[in-house]
Amino acid sequence: MILLLLLSLIGRSSQLTLSDCGTEARLPSFTDIAVQCGTSSVSLAIQMCPVIYTGYNETLLILNNIMDPACRATLDTSVFPPVARFNFPLNMTNACGSIFRTTSAPGTGPFADFSNIQTVNISGAVRSFDPTTGAITYNAELKYFYSCAYPLEYLVNNTQINVSSSSISVSDNNGSFISTLSMQLFSDANFTRPMVIPQQGIELRTNVFVMVKATNLTGQYNVLLDRCYASITPLPSNSTFFNLFVPCSQDRFTNITENGNSQTARFAFPAFRFVEQQNQTVSTYYLHCITRLCEISTCSSFLRCNRRKRSTLDTTEADISKTYTLTSPEIITKADTTESKEKPLVAEGDNSGVRVGVAVGVLAIACIVALSVAALFYKRLKN
């Protein structure tokens, strides 16, 4: 049945010929496949001239043995050399037979506090189907393996690895979900009014509402904030910082309202200032959040306190990079107010000075009376 279906599809090819390939008519090479690991889909592009040279066309390239028309190749002759393109969504239910595998490993570097760092790997293969029906064939079997590795705690590198093998193409790329994430500051608990920070800064203890949100992200992942902290420089390496919350611990003034149960995370904290900026007119700092994308079924396990803890009182740390974090625009707080600068040391309404003056007056009168009485008795005794 599959053979008949494939044979019926051969005639639907655009019939690209070797004469259209010129010098690209050659044997297959291990670099003939290109893999694009997108945030919602994976795209493959396979050089067609070596495929035709080997005796096949795009209709004979089968993705993971799936015959669904949505998983078939599309010939693209708008580029040279021409390519066969495959595109499938990052969804476990309809990813054209791709294999999803999630692995865990202890965190290192800036993630050394986390004992369970996850990576999801999506892999599969495009294979040629030989329509030859005789006892022998002159067509070499073609195999194009692909994989996309998406670190879920965020985000390591973008290294491509090409592995050579006879008539086999392999391309392993690292994808990135970072473009789907954004951080916004709001001035209300309903997260409807974006916070506008004036040049002179916001008042101390003003509530700052923070939202980290994923858009255009495949629905099988939620957003979980592992750690959020403030630093006095945009790049927090070798910078004073303050932890708003870390795994299993948070500052007593930080209020986390949503985390790990949707593609949006929310928390709030009162505006503060860094002591080392006390001689400046305003205190300026930046908010950073290490953001984890967790599979819906596993998010709850990361909320349990079974990881190594870090004190919220830490004030220095190395090897922190914005490569792994989302960073907010600068937050400016008023280091002090005009009222507090002009206010006297004695608070308004305090009558302690008046009371002291009255007491001194009463004591002076008492001393005068006592001296008068003593002088009167002395005079009488002398007479």
pLDDT digits (tens, 9 = 90+) for 221-248: 899 998 899 888 887 667 788 999 988 8
User: Rounded to an integer, what distance in angstroms lies between the CA atom of residue 302 and that of residue 114?
Assistant: 10
> Which positions ≥6 away from 290 have C-beta within 8 Å?
110, 111, 153, 154, 225, 226, 227, 228, 324, 325
Tokens (6 digits) for 81: 């050399």
Report whether pLDDT(115) > 70. yes
Q: What is the DSSP letter of 109?
A: G
Identify the residue with better confidence: 45 or 40: 45
Identify the sign of the CA torsion 166, 167, 171, 172: negative
Tokens (6 digits) for 136: 């022998």
Instruction: Identify any residues that bridge with 113 across adjacent strands, giving them in sequence order.
Output: none
Report whether pLDDT(276) > 70. yes
Query: What are the tens digits of pLDDT across the range 353-382?
Result: 545 555 656 666 766 766 666 666 666 655
> Which positions ≥6 away from 164 have C-beta within 8 Å?
30, 170
Lowest mean pLDDT across 50-64, 155-169, 229-243: 155-169
Mean pLDDT of the chain: 77
pTM of the model: 0.58
Identify the residue with better confidence: 179 or 109: 179
Q: What is the pLDDT of residue 329?
A: 76
Report whether pLDDT(108) > 90. no
Cα 136 to the center of its chain, rounded Å: 54
User: Rounded to an integer, what distance in angstroms lies between the CA atom of residue 272 and that of residue 252?
Assistant: 13
Instruction: Identify any residues that bridge with 120 across adjacent strands, giving them in sequence order.
Output: 102, 150
> Which positions ≥6 away from 371 have C-beta within 8 Å?
none
- Supply the Cα-derived Rg of the chain in whole angstroms: 36
**Domain annotation for the chain: domains and CATH numbers:** 2-176 (2.60.40.3210), 180-339 (2.60.40.4100)
Asked if 253 and 270 touch (Cβ cutoff 8 Å), the reply is: yes
Percent of residues, the chain, with pLDDT higher than 70: 72
Distances (CA, A) of 365 to 62, 128, 244, 356: 112, 115, 61, 15
Q: Confidence band (pLDDT; 50, 70, 90) for 170?
A: low
Report whether pLDDT(84) > 60. yes
Greatest mean pLDDT range, 84-98, 227-241, 253-267:
253-267
Report whether pLDDT(145) > 90. yes
Q: Confidence band (pLDDT; 50, 70, 90) for 344?
A: very low
Report whether pLDDT(106) > 90. no
Report whether pLDDT(67) > 50. yes
